[in-house]
Amino acid sequence: MAVHMTRSNEIQGSAAGRLLDMLLPRPSSTFLLRSADAPGSILVVDRAVPPAEGRKAILSTERGLRLATLDSRFDSSRVWGVVTWVIREPS
């Protein structure tokens, strides 16, 4: 497979804009977080996305925020936001 290398300063504004539009469709309700549960990753968390069973989410707990996968018994009042993307460091 052929690979084309592009320097970051060569990326057109529209290409970077499309990537941001994909990752952050609702910028006012979207946050980028790092988690000890997912070292080396950035979690894209949208507070406007409704929680659902099986989704990864950030829960508000007595000890602060924590990453969890929602099961059938999740309490929606404790869901701070839903993880929409996980950006991992390359290996």
pLDDT in tens, 48-81: 999 999 999 999 999 999 999 999 999 999 999 9
Q: Where are the domains of the chain?
A: 27-88
- Give the global pTM: 0.80
Give me the half-sphere count of Cα atoms (radius 13 Å) on the Cβ side of residue 1.
2
Alpha carbon 55 to chain centroid, angstroms = 12
More confident: 83 or 6? 83
- Residue-wise pLDDT for 4-57, tens only, equals 455 555 555 677 778 888 888 888 999 999 888 778 889 999 999 999 999 999
User: CATH assignment of 27-88?
Assistant: 2.10.109.10
